[in-house]
Every structure is written in C-alpha cells, then in structure tokens.
Amino acid sequence: MRAYRFDSFDSLDELRLREEADPQPQRGEVLVRVHAVSLNFRDIAMLRGRYPRKCVPGLIPCSDAAGQIVAIGEGVEAFKVGDRVMGAFHPRWFGGEMPSTIQSDSYGAENDGWLCELKAISQEAVVRLPEALSYEEGCTLPCAGLTAWTAITGPAPIRAGHTVLVQGSGGVSLFALQLARAVGAVVIATTSSAAKADQLKALGAAEVVNYVDDPQWGKSVRALTGGRGVDRVVEVGGPGTIAQSLRAVAHGGEIASIGFLSTENPGIDFFQLKMSGASFRNITVGDRAALLDLNRAVAATGLRPIIDRVFAFEEAREAFGHLESGAHLGKIVIRGLS
C-alpha cells in the first residue's frame, strides 16, 4: 500500500509518500480500505510545534477517516466485508471516563494515523457510516463533528430559544452552527471576511460580527442579544479570543473551550472570569459512544457536513497548505482510492 509519513516536523516537504507492506487484520481486527481522510487544525499544529502534547516524527498523520472493510480477522462479529465505516477519534475510548492511554493512542501524534490506503484496526475502534453520507462527508465526523456535538450537548444541552456563539468558519464552528440550528437555537458567528459572512448567514447564522473591523466583538455580540449575552460560546480561538468570549457570554452561560487557533496570549483577567458568572468546560472528544450518538443525530436531522474542498491522494501536501492558509470554509478532505 501507499502511506504518507512526516519524516520530521520541519516543513510540509517532510510529508513523504512511500510504499509499505499491506497490513493484515489480526484477531478482532478489520482491514479498512481508506476512501477519504479529513484534516483538522491539530494536524498543522503538530507540524508547527503548537500541539500541546508529545508528537513523534515518522508517523502516518491524520485522525479522521472513512472507508470500506475489505477483510476481517478471526473473531470479528460486529462487521462484515463491504461495510462502510469511520474510525473513532480515540481507538480505545469506548465511553465514560477517559482511559489512561488516551495520549499514547493519539493518531498522528504517538500512533500511526489514517493517511494511507489500508489500515488494520480493532473492530471496536470503528463505527458504521451514516447511510446518507458519502465517504468524504463521513470522514469529517470523528473529530470536528463530535467536538461540536459535545459542545452543543454536554451536561446542559442547548435547546430551542437558546443563543450560541460560534467563532470563524472552520469545521467545528460550522458543525456547531448546524447542530444548534437543528434544535431551534439562534446562532451568532464571527468572521474576518465579508464573503464568509454572507456564507455563514446562508447556513443559518442570524447575525455575523467581523472581528477585524470590531476588535471589541464580545460587547457587540452581547448587544445583539439585548444585553443578556449568549448561552453557549463554542470557543475555538483560545488565548487570543477568551477575553471577548467572556464579554459575550450570559451570566450562568457556558464557554465550551475547544481550540487554540490564536497565537497571541494576553492572559485572562481573573476578575472578568469571576464576574462573568459563566462556567468553563474543557472539551475533550473521541469516545465511541458519543460518536454513535452523533451518528443518530445526523441521520435524524439530515445534516450534511460542509466540505470546502476535496484533494486527490497525491495532493496531500497541497491539502495541508490549504488548511494552513485559513482560506477554507468547512472541512478539507483528501480522497483515497475508490
């Protein structure tokens, strides 16, 4: 089979395609022909030295993929040859408390990922693809889709009449927009682009605030809610956006902390945090049970993931470069062999 590996994290030039032996499924494993892989910010963060956990060079990158089972090992009963599946973000987190191996299991960081043609993996580490979705759409669910699902549901699920703030137009933010709208919530979005503002409104955002033109966008978001603030902030920016998120969130609302897209870190004003009256929930995703819940929601609502662009397998470097440019709206996908 062909597989990509980052020989080092010095540059995108270190992402090299090579021929490797075909993996064989062992007892309890399935062999998946990988048809589509989606990129996440974490894939670029590893390359740029911004990922907050250990990253080992020489591994196959990417955590999210969908494909078809082409062989099964002894003892496999959950799946059969021909089934369409996607991988769970963490292969040994089945639900409940995170396992102690959560870091060493991480695809692309300490364990081989999915940017390859064939992958042998435990039958417990994959779930069936929703019937209505293509491989390209399905491969966007395990990280971005499930992250947004966790942010919108969680201990206090968003309901009709609530207001949700999403930041930007990346995969997590667009999934959060779609999922919040599906339950009748009002969505406010931020962006730096007038063109993207129009697209966000077309996807269902009630209001869009340009954070470049309006550096104090948190106050503007609060004003759009009549001074009350939003019930949930889907916080993907991190250190550079948290101060404005605290201005935007309602007293008793929640900031669902997900990403670290911003590079600046001005620090958090403790008293602003205290006086906001909001809760702060750190989002960690990847368990199999939650992915199954998301699948059911996708099937019930007819949600279709927003894909910015699909690259050929041979164009993997270009796909990574497009992700790094920040010009995308939605998910970037690399298509495997049909």
- H or E segment to which residue 163 belongs: strand 163-167
Q: Give yes or no: residues 11 and 118 share one domain.
A: yes
* 75 within some domain: yes
Q: Give yes or no: residues 132 and 28 share one domain.
A: yes
Q: Give yes or no: residues 136 and 6 share one domain.
A: yes
* 298 within some domain: no
Instruction: Check: CB of residue 220 under 8 Å from CB of residue 244.
Output: no
Q: Give yes or no: residues 273 and 180 share one domain.
A: yes
CA 323 to chain centre: 13
* Three-state secondary-structure class, residue 319: helix
Instruction: For 50-107, give the DSSP string.
Output: --SS---TTS---SEEEEEEEEE-TT--S--TT-EEEE-SSTT--SSSPPTTTTTT-B
pLDDT at 263: 59
The answer to whether the Cα torsion of 182, 186, 192, 197 is positive or negative is positive
Give the whole-number percent of the chain exceeding pLDDT 90.
80
pLDDT at 172: 96
Locate 44 and state its tokens: 């670029």
CATH number, residue 130? 3.90.180.10
Q: Give yes or no: residues 129 and 7 share one domain.
A: yes
Single pTM value for the model = 0.94
Q: Give yes or no: residues 199 and 135 share one domain.
A: no
* 296 within some domain: no
Q: Give yes or no: residues 98 and 210 share one domain.
A: no
Q: Give yes or no: residues 188 and 254 share one domain.
A: yes
Locate 23 and state its tokens: 């993996």
Whether pLDDT at 176 is above 60: yes
Q: Give yes or no: residues 127 and 24 share one domain.
A: yes
* 105 within some domain: yes
Q: Give yes or no: residues 103 and 228 share one domain.
A: no
Whether pLDDT at 261 is above 60: no
Between CA 119 and CA 105 the distance in angstroms is: 15
* 290 within some domain: no
**Structural domain for 119, as ranges:** 2-140+305-335
CATH number, residue 265? 3.40.50.720
* 295 within some domain: no
Q: pLDDT of 29-83, one tens digit each?
A: 999 999 999 999 999 888 887 787 888 999 999 999 999 999 999 999 999 999 9
Under the banding of pLDDT at 50, 70 and 90, the label for residue 290 is very high
Q: How many domains does the chain have?
A: 2
Residue with tokens 């309602």: 250
- H or E segment to which residue 218 belongs: helix 217-224
Q: How far lies 318's CA from each of 184, 209, 223, 322, 324, in Å?
A: 38, 30, 41, 6, 10
* 326 within some domain: yes
Instruction: Check: CB of residue 250 under 8 Å from CB of residue 231.
Output: yes
Between CA 267 and CA 239 the distance in angstroms is: 7
Q: Give yes or no: residues 128 and 95 share one domain.
A: yes
* 294 within some domain: no
* Three-state secondary-structure class, residue 176: helix
Q: Give yes or no: residues 12 and 122 share one domain.
A: yes
